[in-house]
Amino acid sequence: MMVPVRCFTCGSVVGEHWEEFKQRAREGDEDPAEVLDELGVERACCRRMLVSHKDLVDIVSPYQ
């Protein structure tokens, strides 16, 4: 629903990078790998947290 605060595997905080990642790689047309490198998200375990995330709040909220 919301982006996970931490990486499930290693526990480093990844939530803080989500909005920039979303804006640049999802809505923008930058290469996700390069954006993640620039954000300092190095390990594969942390990278997949952002790459595979989908915000669902907008989808769920009409059915409150």
Partner 1 sequence: MSDQYDVTFIEQDERSAKFLVRGITPAFANGIRRAMIADVPTLSVDTVRVIENSSVMFDEQIALRLGLIPLTTPDDYRPEETVTLAIDVEGPATAYSGDLVSSDAKVQPAEEHVPIIDLKEGQRLELEADAELGYGKDHAKHQGGVAVGYRHLQRVELGDERGEFAEDDPEIIRGVIEDAGASETSRAAGDGGELVETASFDNDLGNRYPDRNVSVEDVPNAFVFDVETDGSMSVDDLVLSAVESLRTRADELEDAVQL
* Nearest distance in Å: CB 47, partner 1: 13
* 1 contributes a contact to partner 1 by CB under 8 A: yes
Position 2: which residue type?
Answer: M
User: Mask 32-61, x = binds partner 1 (CB under 8 A)?
Assistant: -----------x-----------x-xx-xx
* 21 contributes a contact to partner 1 by CB under 8 A: no
Contact yes or no for 20/3 (Cβ under 8 A): no
**Which residues sit opposite 6 in a β-bridge?**
13
- The secondary structure of 1-39 as a DSSP string is -PPPSB-TTT--B-GGGHHHHIIIIIIS-S-HHHHHHHH
Residues lying near partner 1 in the complex (CB under 8 A): 1-3, 5-6, 10-13, 15-16, 18-19, 43, 55, 57-58, 60-61, 64
